[in-house]
Amino acid sequence: MPELPEVEITRQSFAQAIQGAKILRVNLGKALRWPLGCEPSALIGMQVLGVRRRAKYLLVDLSGGLLLVHLGMSGSLRFSSAMPAMGLHEHFEMQTTQGTLRLKDPRRFGAVVYARSPLDTAAQKLLGHLGPEPLESDFTVAYFKNTLSGKTAAIKTVLLDARVVVGVGNIYANEALFLAKINPKAAAGKLSAERVQRLLQAIQQVLKRALAVGGSTLKDFSNAQGKEGYFQLEMMVYDREGEPCRVCGSLVRTLRQGQRSTFYCPQCQKR
């Protein structure tokens, strides 16, 4: 699934190019996870004011509202001045005066939802419950420690809860816990202040590095210009079950937590 770095890299790859464009036509393919929320023709004539990101959502601000775009499990966006006809797995297309934005999503867990404003019910349903951004100033050690306090769930599972912190995702939770030398099975509420601080710093370090190298391309991720990321080449534990730890040489292990695979080093992450 595209996580915060991949979504942000996607945003950066087309936000400037589409800003100021006017919508000429909107085409829909097969139904996505949620309906668009308006007739496609209602978007014609609106101007694209900018593109922001909130958690794993791209927010396309329009002169008459906004589009909330989620890439789901396997989605990707393309933006180009020249596009072939929509393919089998392409389900949303927005033609503008500056190019065409198209969503490809083979599994159709993604979505494009229209809202009249950020305070609209449609937008609040998706965004209203979200926690702080991990790279913003409100994600502090004090906040993190207070939020984890009393939680008996494993810290790895808690990191995937968008009400605690948004956008970390499975890949980067694994990598951050390794960097912080914290066992993924440790109870979130029992982490000391020192370990919470170490984990927060590790989350930020891992995400910043992933952004710097274009995100992770494990299967088919690429940005809106078709460029792949390279963070997968630097992964310490994720998807490395049975391989030697890059630090101590112990074999990387895996377990299931909350229906997701967790990868860790039994030696480096004893506690």
Interior angle at CA 171, CA 4 and CA 16, nearest 5: 25
258 has pLDDT over 90? no
The one-character DSSP state at 219 is: S
Comparison of pLDDT for 228 and 250, the residue scoring more:
250
Percent of the chain at pLDDT exceeding 90: 91
pLDDT of residue 271: 81
> 101: which strand partners?
79, 94
Give the pLDDT confidence of 192-224 residue by residue, as tens digits: 999 999 999 999 999 999 999 999 987 778 888
Mark out the alpha helices in 181-218 (DSSP H runs).
193-212
* Look-up of token digits 């074999």: 251
pLDDT of residue 221: 84
Asked whether the beta carbons of 79 and 14 are under 8 A apart, the reply is: yes
Q: What are phi and psi of 3, to 5 degrees?
A: -110, -170
Q: d(Cα 137, Cα 133) in Å, to the nearest integer?
A: 8
Annotated catalytic residues are 2-3, 56, 260
Give the pLDDT confidence of 164-197 residue by residue, as tens digits: 999 999 999 999 999 999 999 999 999 999 999 9
pLDDT of residue 79: 97
Q: Is 116 left (phi over 0), alpha (psi -120 to 50) or beta?
A: alpha
Q: What 3-state DSSP class applies to 185?
A: coil
Structure-derived torsion over alpha carbons of residues 206, 207, 211, 216, reported in degrees to the nearest 10: 80
Structural domains in the chain?
Answer: 4-127 (3.20.190.10), 141-264 (1.10.8.50)
* Mean pLDDT computed over every residue of the chain: 96
Give the pLDDT confidence of 54-102 residue by residue, as tens digits: 999 999 999 999 999 999 988 999 999 998 899 999 999 999 999 999 9
- At 245, is the pLDDT very low, low, confident or very high (cuts 50, 70, 90)? very high
Give the pLDDT confidence of 111-146 residue by residue, as tens digits: 999 999 999 999 999 999 999 999 999 999 999 999
* Mean per-residue pLDDT, 12-17: 97
Give the pLDDT confidence of 101-118 residue by residue, as tens digits: 999 999 999 999 999 999
pLDDT of residue 53: 98
Asked whether the beta carbons of 264 and 178 are under 8 A apart, the reply is: yes
Half-sphere exposure of 5 (CA within 13 A, CB side): 28
Residue 111 burial (CB count, 10 A): 25
Q: List strand residue ranges (DSSP E) for the chain, in order.
A: 23-28, 48-54, 57-62, 65-70, 76-80, 90-96, 99-104, 111-115, 253-257, 260-264
pLDDT of residue 160: 96
242 has pLDDT over 80? yes
